[in-house]
Structure 1
Amino acid sequence: MIDEEAQYDALLGGSEELPSNISLSKFVACRSQEIQIMKNSLLTQTGSKLAFQTLPKHMRRRAMSHNVKRLPRRLRQIHLNQMKKSGMPTQQKRPSRKYRRKPRNLLEEYTKRANKKYKWLQTHIWHAKRFHMVEKWGYKLPYHACDKAFRACYRAMTQHCLLQDISYYSCVEIHGDKSEIIEKIKLLCKPGEGLSIGAKAFSEGNREGEICLYDSFQKAIGNVMFQWQPSIDEKCKLWLWVHAAFYSTTKNTLVECFKNCQIEINELRLELSRFRLSGPLSNPVLQDALALIDIYDIKLVPESPLKKYIDWPENKAVIINQCEFWKKLASVASLHEVSPHIVLPLIVKDPRLNLPKKRIKSVLTFGKLEFDQIPVNISANPLWDKTIRTYSNENKVSDSKIVDLQSGLLVPGSDLKGTIGHIPIILIQRPGNKTQNVGLGSGWDVILPTAWAKPFWIAFVMRGARVGGLRESDSMLYEMGKSQLLHPDTDAGFEEELRHSNQHRVTFFQKPPNKRINYSKFKIASPLLCNWRLLLKDWNSGFTGEFSVLRDKKQLHSINAFLNSKTHPVPQCPQNCLIPVRLECEKRGSLAEYAIICVPKCKSDLSEVLLEPNCEDVNKEKRKELRRAHQSLLKKLRKKRKLKSELASDDHSEILRSYTEKMRALWLPEPTTIRHSCSREVVGFVSKGGFSFSIGKSAGTGYITSDCLSELVDFRNKVLLRNTNSRQYKTANLSVIVE
């Protein structure tokens, strides 16, 4: 038997012996206090070094003190605690791009940015990636595309399809007795400006109309589009589509008008969106993108309000007529052949079910109209029901579910055959021009539930529609020969002109003095603003400060006949009015904004090259003297600063502000007269000018005073135009705009 090996203590002469085995749990429990002390000593830095300074040199990395993730994991919390104690902010690295671009996180980020000051359209994210965005009328709106698309958008309007999101037009619903609504709305309108809101053409709800609203003081607010609900009852609904520039004014006026009536006013701006398609291919784009429902094979939830609407026998017959009429419209070569402003409701399938894999171009199919007249009773629409609108907005299938269904297709890329969603929409025809360039600007307006705006938008884009912004809206009106949307006699139009003028002033004074245009030498009294009030005061000494744009169609036609005939007498027009006109240059040359419209003195002015005589700048020496005095004052202040350590900043800023205001007043002095500011009498301004692609030469739209018609007897429709940066007059043909 082998002797047991002697233990360490016995070898040293001791008597202590260790047991042959121990209990681990009891041993750790006895040493727990020692282990805890050791852990605390590791986590607590007792020395003067920071956490990253305790690392060996070969493990240290650059910017460890700023980026905690460069440290080993065991030292990160220690480093963060040290940073907090020292008062330095713990700057964390922003999440990765992959994390930020997840749809859920992306929508949360955009929701945070969408503040209450500026509202976003449903297509804002799509536009923000591709367009220059501007803040106007309480919205973030697309102005123009980032690429060079000016001519491309014009080609789309004339040859293809131009798509625009005009959801900044908000819908106001008026519900009550129809006759009472008509009587009250007529108080906000003026006779002679076209068909009224109670006209038979609109009262049945099969067409959309347009009127100009006035406030209680008979001051113009702006043009609104309206549509009646098809109903035979005395109580019905009226939709007003109001521009965002004067939406609040219109709403307050309507509330005041219906204050003591049993009329209900509701805002639908969050429930409905509106798109505008213009051009000859707008009809093929809609024909390809909109898949009509099968009335005999509808698989909806039985309790859904849309299912109940479709199952009603009368509604089922109307839906069949609507579908047949829409199929017949596929053979229309040009939309101006269709009855103008017709309202066509449809119920279509989810546009994501038949979305093409890549962008295609819809093709126009030529043919003849297969119907002689519009079917009766096709304007009934489920969107008038609030429960159906709410159901359509709240029961939209998510994009992820659509992707899951597409991934389960037997043949990848084929259309989905499910009945996931049925969406009620409204199509409204726009006839475009009716005289010159017939059909230019014609197309469809699409009204749909707000939640479905983006799927339909992508469906239209994938069929070849080119997207435009606010610049294209102004360009379309200009090419059609119409005046701009916001007239100068409205508050919205005045604010828009003032905002535009301030932008030009800022640009003007950002240039150095030797690069600025000296308008005094060109005898331009108001170069950066259409000063209508001063112009009207020059032509009428009894002007009180209030004016209006002439909208009476009979009077406008009478003025047009006077301009186009040598024997027609001067028409009687109200004083202090502006007449909307279109001007076309007879010869070469460009026409710019703020150009002045003048009356010739003699017939030789129209045949010869006419130049404005040279004029001296009377403020030139005053500007030099002011600059010398200002420089001398700055030298004195500089000497005072050397003697005195502190100088009151308020006095210094006030001196600079006063000098800037005086110098700007000498560059752009306040005009005292506009009519007699140059050698030819000024009768108006050009509010929009440039080269017109539709007529192939320079043209413009503007306004002239009604008091100047007697001066045009000898020249009729021949006037002179002059840009603000030129001395040369151009001959132009004048015509009145009658909308």
Structure 2
Amino acid sequence: MEDKSEPATVSVSVRQFVTARTQELIAISSRISNPGGKEKAYTPFKHIPKNLRRRAVSHNVKRMPFRFRPKVSDTVTKDGRGNPLSFVSSSKVKKCGSRKHRRRKGNLLLEFNRRQRTYKWMETHIWHAKRFHIEPKWNYKIPIAPCDKGRRALYRSTKNYATMQDISFTSVFQLDGDFDVICSGFSSIAPINSNALSIGARMFATGERQGKLHIYKQEAYPFGYIGEVHFQWLKKRESGSSVWLWVHPAIREEILKELVLVFDLNLDFHNNKSCFDEDTSSKMTIDEIKLLPKNLRDRSQWTNTGKGLSLTDLQGEVNRIRFSGPETLNVLRDVLRTSVPETAQQIVESNAKSVLSSFLSDQDLLQRQHLVWNLLDNFQDFPAYSVLPLIVRDPRVFLPQSRAKILLNNEENSDPEDDCTDIEEVEHLDSVVEMETNSEINNGTASHIPEVGELLTTFISKVVSPLEDYHLRLNLIKEKMTDEDFCKRRAGLLIPGSEMVLGWEENQIPVILVHRPGTSNSGNYSDCGFDLILPAGWTMAFWIAFAYRAVRVTGLRDSVSCAFETGNLHSPYFPPPDSYFGAAEKLTTEESKRGEYFNLAPAKRPNLIKLSCCSPFTQDYAGLLEFWKDDTDAKTDPYYILRDQEKLNLLGRNVKSKFWCKLVENLSSIVNIHQCLIGVRIDILGRGKPADGAIICIPTISDVEKYSSQRKISDIPIHIEPSQSDALKHKERLDFRQKHQKIMAFLRKKRKKLRRENKQCDNDDVLLANNALIHHYNSQKLSQVYNHNMNNMWLIPKENYLETYHNLSRKPMGFFTYGGNEYSQGKCSALGYVSAVALLEFAKNAASNKRLGQFVLVRNWVDSLIYRTGKLKILNL
């Protein structure tokens, strides 16, 4: 029988045999690891039992079994090809400590300071953060508005009681040098035409009153407006003069740049060392550690050794709280209780090293301060913008147990020590009055017995505030009793709620009270009140004391409402359009409103082309001035706002008295009238609520006649703007959309085809090429271009603005900056700017036909074709 079996193997290649078996083992292991093959590759998370699979496993690698952790770490930190992800840092991430570690006192303070690296915090930030909406603005965290809806409640508080706002974000500079040199420098940037008084006026130079200046770029008036600066001269010193400059944070850099240019200053010292790196292990109090981000001891300074000038940044050394309302004085008197001479004497005897020992040792000054402050019971007793320095007691000593209002002549809330009813105090006051009267009689200047206002004026002229001393401001926080020690003392009281008696241990705090008479262009509402200037580290103690007196706290949005109620268009809360600050705010507002508009569905958007609305997101003053340019050679850019006080007062009287011929004459004398804007106020007659950006137009005779005949029927509009056709633009948008959809479908098919090829291909080079093509066919950038072009098709092109203005049925005069319901008037009104040339034509029409009067037309051209009626009034500074 033939043997059909194969011959036996004579030899075996060990290398080939081992290689083949190795590949088989690798294939078997791979199939076990991934039962579904390459198409169904399992991640390391799916290798654990199903009963242990949790959502948290994918977020915490340490919850995985130990043998799977390396693979999980690779999948978390690397992509499918083994490359590290872009968001994974190569350096080791520092582990966040446990909650127990983070909640330690020292770590809490360090975290408190660390979080202020990007944006600065005011001392009341934590209090506001619990109750207010906070937004980053001007390098600060600014309280915008309370979380509750209380605009009416805010108005009632300002009208009947008191409100307060922390404006410590305001920048402060101290300028030292010769008085005449400082005044001559400011004369080039603060022209007398736009300022009632110069910085060197007699009423300001003594340091008894605070002033205000409108600052321009050097020798650029009336163009180049920067902003508003409040100033306060310090008391006369032996070596030169000093003035504090209070600057809005939005214009801080511009003002600083202009001061350096005018006075030829050079940066002498600037601290580059971060205050957060300081060693806090030394014996520093909690309040001192909290002030480390303010870097109080190392300040930026600019000097001019030739002229003996120096400019120092005092940001953070002093804080400022703004009060408004008729009961502000009563609240201040209840919280700001002046130092008792007996207690001051104990402090001087027990603690001679106190920073206030030299001020507390003057018993006569303290007695005079105590009497004058408690005699003031009327807001009119204060001279306008007067500066009143005081040394007051610690407000934590007499903090009430519950929140309650301080009402006039409320005996329950009065303090026996503050009542000027003691016989000895009355006799002392009589002796003071008699002594001053006799001295005036001897000088031949006395005509009557001095009143409270005269006593106050005399006291202000003689007293010097301790806050003017730099070293005293810095060392004042060291002597403050910490809140922890204070609470322990209060907890040990036998009668809860009674006033604490600390004796010589009680803190005495120097403060400055600045009178603010307020402005009112409406007649029924005024924002009069006081500004309280406090040393660093003491704001929260006073803030809590005022909050317990039921003073309503306001934010930035509430301040805008108050400025609107007073009709103060020149307030810093309304950024002027002719300044860099106003231009920056304009861009921010335009971007925000543009996003809101295009987030709406196309069917829900107002058709701006049909409404003939050129600038729906901002006020187009440049296009408006171009429209009123009668001479082709006349310049309209840049434009400026008229701030000549004498001219504004004259124009306002002419409009109010309806002297139209004189108004025409005064308007014609304005320099660069084609580039001039004038602030106005429009009171709406009848129905209609003006919106921000609404347009103001000149009426015709037919509009006035129609209004006179239909005055009692407010539902019927005076005039309706004819709707414009949008058929051509609509067809362009439709064609553009269809074309874009075809391109998107083509790219989608290409990407789908390439992905299908990748699943069937094992060649790495082909995979890389296909992935590159998929990225090339990505439609994200194409969609961005499409959205930008499509959005522009919903708007009127800028080159057609002038044509649109000419096609309007009523000539435009200006735009509204802010509009709404005014509670003090019980009707709607708005603030805005009009072109001086348009106002001139308006005055000519009124002079030729007396029936026109102050009658104007208003239209919310963003969403309406209806014209409403209003009454025009020119605003003063």
1:287 corresponds to 2:319: no
Q: How does 1:158-173 map to 2 (within 5 A)?
A: 158-173=159-174
Aligned to 1:307: 357
Aligned to 2:582: 493
Aligned to 1:210: 212
Alpha-carbon distance in 2 for matches of 1:703, 1:495: 18
Aligned to 2:401: 357
Letter of the 2:203 partner, please give it: A
Aligned to 1:322: 369
Aligned to 2:648: 556
Alpha-carbon distance in 2 for matches of 1:551, 1:90: 57
Offset of 1:85 from its aligned partner?
11
Q: What is the CA deviation profile of residues 551-587 of structure 1, one whole-angstrom value per residue up to 9, with x for unaligned ones?
A: 1011112222332324542112222111011110111
Letter of the 1:381 partner, please give it: S
1:113 corresponds to 2:205: no
Equivalent position SS for 2:733? helix
Equivalent position SS for 1:720? strand
Aligned to 1:463: 549
Q: Given that residues 208 and 387 in structure 2 are in contact (C-alpha distance below 8 angstroms), is that contact kept between their aligned partners in structure 1?
A: yes
Letter of the 1:550 partner, please give it: L
| Residue 727 to residue 61, structure 1, CA distance change in 2 (3 Å) | closer
Q: Given that residues 325 and 529 in structure 2 are in contact (C-alpha distance below 8 angstroms), is that contact kept between their aligned partners in structure 1?
A: yes
Alpha-carbon distance in 1 for matches of 2:69, 2:748: 46
Aligned to 2:141: 140
Alpha-carbon distance in 1 for matches of 2:121, 2:821: 33
Q: Given that residues 520 and 527 in structure 2 are in contact (C-alpha distance below 8 angstroms), is that contact kept between their aligned partners in structure 1?
A: no
Alpha-carbon distance in 2 for matches of 1:601, 1:244: 45
Offset of 1:433 from its aligned partner?
3.4
Greater Cα offset, 252-261 or 594-603: 252-261
Aligned to 2:826: 696
Alpha-carbon distance in 1 for matches of 2:71, 2:601: 53
Equivalent position SS for 2:871? strand
Aligned to 1:526: 615
Q: Given that residues 524 and 824 in structure 2 are in contact (C-alpha distance below 8 angstroms), is that contact kept between their aligned partners in structure 1?
A: no
Alpha-carbon distance in 2 for matches of 1:606, 1:634: 58
Q: Given that residues 338 and 369 in structure 2 are in contact (C-alpha distance below 8 angstroms), is that contact kept between their aligned partners in structure 1?
A: no
Q: What is the CA deviation profile of residues 585-642 of structure 1, one whole-angstrom value per residue up to 9, with x for unaligned ones?
A: 1112111100001111325346342111122124222111111111111122122223
Q: Given that residues 211 and 223 in structure 1 are in contact (C-alpha distance below 8 angstroms), is that contact kept between their aligned partners in structure 2?
A: yes
Offset of 1:424 from its aligned partner?
0.6
Equivalent position SS for 2:594? helix
Q: What is the CA deviation profile of residues 276-298 of structure 1, one whole-angstrom value per residue up to 9, with x for unaligned ones?
A: 11111211211111221113432
Offset of 1:317 from its aligned partner?
4.2
Aligned to 1:275: 321
Equivalent position SS for 2:519? coil
Q: Please, what TM-score do these two structures have when normalized by structure 2?
A: 0.71
Q: How does 1:13-24 map to 2 (within 5 A)?
A: none
Q: What is the CA deviation profile of residues 151-206 of structure 1, one whole-angstrom value per residue up to 9, with x for unaligned ones?
A: 11111111111110011111110011111111111111112221111111211111
1:415 corresponds to 2:503: no
1:607 corresponds to 2:693: no
Equivalent position SS for 1:397? coil
1:661 to 773, 783, 788: 788
Q: What is the CA deviation profile of residues 62-118 of structure 1, one whole-angstrom value per residue up to 9, with x for unaligned ones?
A: 9998999x99xxxxxx9999979986999999745x876665554333323222x32
Aligned to 1:16: none
Q: What is the CA deviation profile of residues 307-337 of structure 1, one whole-angstrom value per residue up to 9, with x for unaligned ones?
A: 12333x5xx54444333221112x22xx356
Q: Please, what TM-score do these two structures have when normalized by structure 1?
A: 0.84
Aligned to 1:27: none
Equivalent position SS for 2:153? helix
Q: How does 1:69-468 map to 2 (within 5 A)?
A: 95-96=98-99, 104-115=106-117, 117-193=118-194, 194-216=196-218, 218=220, 219-231=224-236, 233=238, 235-259=240-264, 260=304, 261-298=307-344, 299-300=347-348, 301-311=351-361, 313=362, 317-329=364-376, 331-332=377-378, 335-336=379-380, 338-365=382-409, 371-373=452-454, 374-378=456-460, 380-418=464-502, 419-433=505-519, 436-437=522-523, 440-468=526-554
Letter of the 2:207 partner, please give it: G
Q: What is the CA deviation profile of residues 390-416 of structure 1, one whole-angstrom value per residue up to 9, with x for unaligned ones?
A: 111333221111011112222222121
Higher helix share: 2
Letter of the 1:582 partner, please give it: R
| Residue 410 to residue 705, structure 1, CA distance change in 2 (3 Å) | same
Q: Given that residues 432 and 439 in structure 1 are in contact (C-alpha distance below 8 angstroms), is that contact kept between their aligned partners in structure 2?
A: no
1:729 corresponds to 2:779: no
In structure 2, runs of 5+ residues without a counterpart are 1-51, 75-91, 265-303, 411-418, 421-449, 708-717, 756-772, 847-851
Equivalent position SS for 2:330? helix
| Residue 263 to residue 606, structure 1, CA distance change in 2 (3 Å) | farther
| Residue 61 to residue 303, structure 1, CA distance change in 2 (3 Å) | farther
In structure 1, runs of 5+ residues without a counterpart are 1-59, 72-77
Offset of 1:647 from its aligned partner?
2.3
| Residue 92 to residue 545, structure 1, CA distance change in 2 (3 Å) | closer
Q: What RMSD, in angstroms, separates the aligned Cα atoms of the two structures?
A: 3.0
Offset of 1:728 from its aligned partner?
1.0
1:680 corresponds to 2:810: yes
2:638 to 541, 546, 549: 546
Alpha-carbon distance in 2 for matches of 1:277, 1:701: 24
| Residue 375 to residue 605, structure 1, CA distance change in 2 (3 Å) | closer
Letter of the 2:457 partner, please give it: P
Greater Cα offset, 180-189 or 429-438: 429-438
Alpha-carbon distance in 2 for matches of 1:732, 1:465: 36
Alpha-carbon distance in 2 for matches of 1:504, 1:63: 40
Alpha-carbon distance in 1 for matches of 2:203, 2:66: 75
Alpha-carbon distance in 2 for matches of 1:199, 1:166: 27
Equivalent position SS for 1:738? coil
Q: Given that residues 600 and 606 in structure 1 are in contact (C-alpha distance below 8 angstroms), is that contact kept between their aligned partners in structure 2?
A: no
Equivalent position SS for 1:735? strand
Aligned to 2:6: none
Letter of the 2:599 partner, please give it: Q
Offset of 1:377 from its aligned partner?
4.4
Aligned to 1:738: 876
Q: Given that residues 525 and 566 in structure 2 are in contact (C-alpha distance below 8 angstroms), is that contact kept between their aligned partners in structure 1?
A: no
How many matched pairs?
665
Letter of the 2:729 partner, please give it: N
Alpha-carbon distance in 2 for matches of 1:64, 1:339: 68
Alpha-carbon distance in 2 for matches of 1:337, 1:590: 40
Alpha-carbon distance in 1 for matches of 2:360, 2:149: 46
Alpha-carbon distance in 1 for matches of 2:577, 2:653: 25
Equivalent position SS for 1:676? helix
Aligned to 2:764: none
Offset of 1:436 from its aligned partner?
4.2
Alpha-carbon distance in 1 for matches of 2:487, 2:453: 44
Equivalent position SS for 1:729? strand
Q: What is the CA deviation profile of residues 357-378 of structure 1, one whole-angstrom value per residue up to 9, with x for unaligned ones?
A: 2212111239999624233242
| Residue 225 to residue 90, structure 1, CA distance change in 2 (3 Å) | closer
Alpha-carbon distance in 2 for matches of 1:653, 1:62: 35
Offset of 1:648 from its aligned partner?
3.0
Letter of the 2:534 partner, please give it: L
Letter of the 1:407 partner, please give it: A
Alpha-carbon distance in 1 for matches of 2:530, 2:821: 27
